Structure 1
Amino acid sequence: MTSPDNILLRLPPAEEQQVREVFARLAERGFPPQQQTPHITITYSPIMAADAVRRAADLLPSVIPSPFRRVGTVVFGTKRKRTVAWLLETTDAMESAAREISALNPESRGRSWTPHLTMGLRLPREIVPDYIRALDEVTSPHFKQLTAVRAAHWMPRIQELTVLADASSEHRRDHRETDR
């Protein structure tokens, strides 16, 4: 099964590493290893609508970087496999942009958006309560703030990432070097 196209938000390297360390601690406790790159999905589709990508390229540069705050843990799914995620809150401007982009994706739920960062993908439902308990135990209580520093359109079927907005320090450094 091929993963769907995504319009997504990426974290700065230090925050991404903190999430990967949580993944590693959970794997050390015997839970399924998490291989996904930490990200916040705005919308996804088997093949992303071109209108959604164009609008994302228009809207997201003005809201990147964007702060997010962990406000809880949620479980998605109704079948055998479940997804455990950190529920996030962000600025009104990012919420508005994400909802507008999502509405342009015919595969989405309209203007609906639940900002989250997946912490456990395709978990057997029987282990979800223990996974959530372990996630709470291995996550620092001080790790509550996240920052979206890059927005991109990811097409896994062709392994292509198109950056739509980038406020990361590496991008700014590279940009300054090419302007000389």
Structure 2
Amino acid sequence: MPRMHALELLPDEAGCDVVRRDWQALRDAGLPSQLDHRGATNSPHVTVVAAPALSRDDERRAAGLLEPLLPVELRASGLALLGGAKVSLVRLLDVPDELVRAVLELRSGLPDAQHLGWLPHLTLARRLPREDVGRALEVVGHEDVVVSVTSLRRWDPQAQIVTTL
């Protein structure tokens, strides 16, 4: 499977701190955490789209559709599990309708998008064994979390480059 290029929304510093607090709590409990991701570009983000390739035109289109809506506050509306035998633990996000419409318009022009539709979320942990899910849920808790998303970036896995758009 090819490595996916991605367009991602980034929280401000306070939002990053909220997410990293969850990452640290999971690590402190001896559970998988996004802190375990050793990549230099690892930071809290909301993936807008992942695809095998993205062009400069795709970047310009994304910037034109999404940047006028930023900054925008997103509220964590709950926790969810994604995956099979081992799961990803994520915070689902309530997103204003105009941002949802803009993301879906962008995605409609990218026929090779990795997933259908858009499930806005912040990833807390990947490859979490199912038997550890209960403990992970206790660790991260269920408090309301609001994150202000302020910028858009592009991840190019072949060049290993992150570009702020």
TM-score interval, smaller chain? 0.7 to 0.9
CA distance in 1, matches of 2:135, 2:158: 33
Q: What are the Cα deviations for residues 103-140 of structure 1, in whole angstroms up to 9, with x where unaligned?
A: 22223245x1111111112222332232122221xx6x
Q: CA deviation at 1:156?
A: 2.8
Q: With structure 2 as the length reference, what TM-score do the two structures score?
A: 0.84
CA distance in 1, matches of 2:87, 2:25: 20
Q: What are the Cα deviations for residues 130-175 of structure 1, in whole angstroms up to 9, with x where unaligned?
A: 2122221xx6x3x5211110111111331212222xxxxxxxxxxx
Find the counterpart in structure 2 of residue 48 from structure 1.
Answer: 54
Instruction: Give runs of aligned pairs for residues 73-112 of structure 1, distance below 5 A.
Output: 73-77=79-83, 79-108=84-113, 109-110=115-116, 112=117
Find the counterpart in structure 1 of residue 27 from structure 2.
Answer: 27
Find the counterpart in structure 1 of residue 137 from structure 2.
Answer: 132
CA contact (8 A) 1:2 1:156 kept: no
List structure 1 runs of 4+ shifted beyond 3 angstroms.
49-52
Aligned CA RMSD, in angstroms, stands at 2.1
Find the counterpart in structure 1 of residue 39 from structure 2.
Answer: none
CA contact (8 A) 1:51 1:104 kept: no
Which of 1 and 2 has greater Rg?
Answer: 1
Kindly tell me the number of residue pairs found equivalent between the two proteins: 158
CA distance in 2, matches of 1:121, 1:17: 19
| Unmatched segments (≥5 aa) in structure 2 | 36-41
Q: With structure 1 as the length reference, what TM-score do the two structures score?
A: 0.78
Q: What are the Cα deviations for residues 61-113 of structure 1, in whole angstroms up to 9, with x where unaligned?
A: 21111110111111111x32211111101111111111111222223245x11
Matched, 1:64 2:65: no
CA distance in 2, matches of 1:21, 1:57: 29
Higher relative contact order (CA 8 A, sep 6+): 2
Question: SS at 1:55's partner residue?
Answer: helix
CA distance in 1, matches of 2:26, 2:99: 30
CA contact (8 A) 2:14 2:147 kept: no
Q: What are the Cα deviations for residues 1-57 of structure 1, in whole angstroms up to 9, with x where unaligned?
A: 875211100011122022112211111111123234110011112323555323202
2:121 to 116, 120, 125: 116
Seq. identity, %: 30
